[in-house]
Chains A and B, each alone.
Chain A
Amino acid sequence: MSSVEPRQWVTDLYMLISDPIETWFDQQKSYIPLLQLAPGLIWVLGLLGSSVGIILMYSFLESAPLSAETPVITIANYQTVFATTYYLTVLLRSLLIAVTVTMISLLIAYPAAYHIAFMNSRFRNLYLLMLILPFWINLIIRTFAWQLILGQSGLINYVLVSLVGIFETPLQLLYSPWAVIIGLVHVFMPFAVIPVYTSIQRIDHSHIEAARNLGANRLQTFYEVTFPQTLPGIAASSVIVFVLSFGSFVIPNMLGGQGNLMIGNIIAQLFGESFDWALGSAMATLFIITVIILVYIFNRIIGLRSLYGSDAA
């Protein structure tokens, strides 16, 4: 029987090397979370931050992109935006469309999410999946389908005019604000379902039973107990759908036509067709600021803090 003891100098040497390494790591502990965040941070700050920075910079230049000449800093671009009724009208129209889309999406998503969250079925996840399934089909194909449904000789007009004969001439459905709204609701409604569904599902069933026990009927139970507890989910859904539809580009282009363009289309035109990058940048900056202000106001009213999980209950 022999036991091999490491020689003293081996142990000493090991300590000599490992100690400073351990100490170093101990000292670096506070940087480790930062290290873990780094890839995401670099991605977002580097790409998003720099592009927004460039847009911001362009918006104050007389002519952009930068040429060999000395750049001239000006606020003329913003003056042009505010002086052009058309741009402001489009901004306002986009806002109205986004608000309408948000409200309709919630009106559709909430009952559906409520029903699925409370259903006593093993197919619950399947139903939820079916609501989200449209995500798997390309946006342009889906929007094109709406063109086929809403068009002059589309499905609806075919049924109304040729089949049933209620109307003599086809209705103008496509290339209207409502066509844009229908398309946007269709695309963004699933985004509204998930936060609402999560907040409904999180409600403790005994809260509902307690309300019933204390004499509340179904309707009272809903608006006194269920609905207030789903406000965070409603807020999350609203912000997501609002921001997405406010800045939408493809759908107003395909379903709205020239008369119903939204802010995204105008910016794209300024960049792509007019080559007025400076004015386009001013428009984009204004749009970003509008979104930030609106989300801020919304946050003050409803309180997005509850979305971040500080809801102690």
Chain B
Amino acid sequence: MDAQTVVELSGLTKRYGDVTAVHDLSFSVQRGEFFSILGPSGCGKSTTLRTIAGFENASEGTIKIDGEDITGTPAHQRETGMVFQNYALFPHKSVGENIGFGLKMDSVPKPEREDQVAEMLATVDLDGFEQRMPNELSGGQQQRVALARALIIQPSVLLLDEPLAALDLQLRQNMRFELQQIQDRLDITTIYVTHDQEEALSMSDRILVLDGGTAQQIDTPRELYNNPRNRFVADFIGEANILQTRFKSSTHDTIELEPEFSSMNTVSLEKNGLDTDAFSKGEQIYLNIRPEDIMIRPPDEDLTNGLTAKITNKTFIGKTTQFVATVGNNQEILAEATGLAAQQSIATGDTVSLTWSRDDCTIIGEHRE
């Protein structure tokens, strides 16, 4: 084990009766790392977090914190600090009492407790809020109290369960920034559970994508976005065009693929050192092209890498304009264009050419590396 590993899960499985919520999950989180667990609702991300906190018992597998096996340790003896989605502030206790609760349980004398609470309130920008009651605070302030309450016990790992989900958009973005700053300043190991991919991408050092209780990919945000390992990750992170193709041939530096949906075109992409020896002719390969990487060109332009398509839908969404183009047998491709020119010059019903840079097209799945 790496000396810097704070949290280590190996083979964690959680079953409720016949339902497996988390299946054979293994990952480790390094000191100071901001680690996110991302997935749709019901994917097992909260269960995983709750198992780390000790609110659920693992059916199989082990959990280690700071190298110590805590799989069977009761929740109150674990070195974790949790921020709940609804904050779970004690309604009958003042802000100061809420934040000082962990210290009180740790038998820290009152004067010292009060000093630490004041200090922690300063950290979260709520100086002098000791006497307020939780119901007198705004959502964002409650959020900060919850964070302060979890941080004051100096946990080995901070566990955040969708802490921003209850806030409105503007506040959510501010809090995201603030949370990241506090995390950075205190250098605290953090596991963050969210279903919001934007949140995960913008804040995390690494992200675990979870679906159906099974790990799909653990990677940096950039890698997840650029090199999704499977269709689920490609679809879930950002918007994706997943094209079903068959392997045709490969040269020294390019791969030629034949789209399933249109026999007229050939798609070629940069080999990038990929070993194609394992590929057999006609083998099914999935490609991913991000909508923002697709360029819409006039139909007659001679293209080495592109598809002829018909625009079937056009939606103005503010910053960009989204186009749905249909190729061949009803294969829909999503393209996004910025600027007024695209908005005005392309109309529904137009026949166009869709093209992209070879670098922007990636193979999804087992052949990736």
State the A residues within 8 Å of B (CB). 204, 206-207, 209-217, 220-221, 224-225, 228-229, 311-313
Contact = CB atoms under 8 A, between A and B. Distances in A.
A207 B149 CA distance: 13
B203 interface: no
A207 B55 CA distance: 12
Nearest to A229: B92
A210 B84 CA distance: 8
B368 interface: no
B135 A312 contact: yes
Interface of B: 53-55, 74-78, 80-82, 84-86, 88-92, 101-102, 105-106, 134-135, 149-150, 153
Chain A, interface SS category: helix
Given A213-B81, A217-B76, A228 B86 contact: no
A204 B92 contact: no
Nearest to A313: B91
Contacts, number: 73
A204 B85 CA distance: 12
Nearest to B55: A209
A213 B81 CA distance: 6
Nearest to B53: A213
Which of B76, B78, B89, B135 is packed against the most chain A CB atoms within 10 Å? B76
Nearest to B105: A215
A223 to B, nearest CB: 12
Nearest to B107: A215
A214 B150 CA distance: 7
Nearest to A214: B102
A206 B90 CA distance: 10
14 contacts: A207-B90, A210-B89, A211-B101, A212-B76, A213-B76, A214-B105, A214-B149, A214-B150, A215-B76, A216-B105, A217-B74, A220-B105, A312-B135, A313-B92
Given A215-B153, A216-B76, A216-B105, A210 B90 contact: yes
Nearest to A312: B135
A209 B85 CA distance: 12
A312 B91 CA distance: 9
A204 B135 contact: no
B84 to A, nearest CB: 5
Contacts of B81: 213-214
A215 B55 contact: no
A216 B179 CA distance: 26
Contacts of A312: 91, 135
Given A206-B84, A206-B86, A213 B75 contact: yes
Contacts of A228: 92
Nearest to A231: B92
Given A206-B84, A313-B135, A214 B92 contact: no
B106 A209 contact: no
Contacts of B91: 207, 229, 311-313
Nearest to B152: A214
B311 to A, nearest CB: 44
A220 B101 CA distance: 11
B105 A210 contact: no
A212 B86 contact: no
A212 B88 contact: no
A207 B76 contact: no
Across chains A and B, which 9 residue pairs bring their CB atoms closest together, nearest first? A313-B91, A214-B102, A206-B88, A215-B105, A210-B88, A312-B135, A212-B75, A213-B82, A228-B92
A225 B86 contact: no
B102 A215 contact: yes
A224 B77 CA distance: 17
Nearest to A217: B76
A209 B75 contact: yes
Contacts of A213: 53-55, 75-76, 78, 80-82, 150
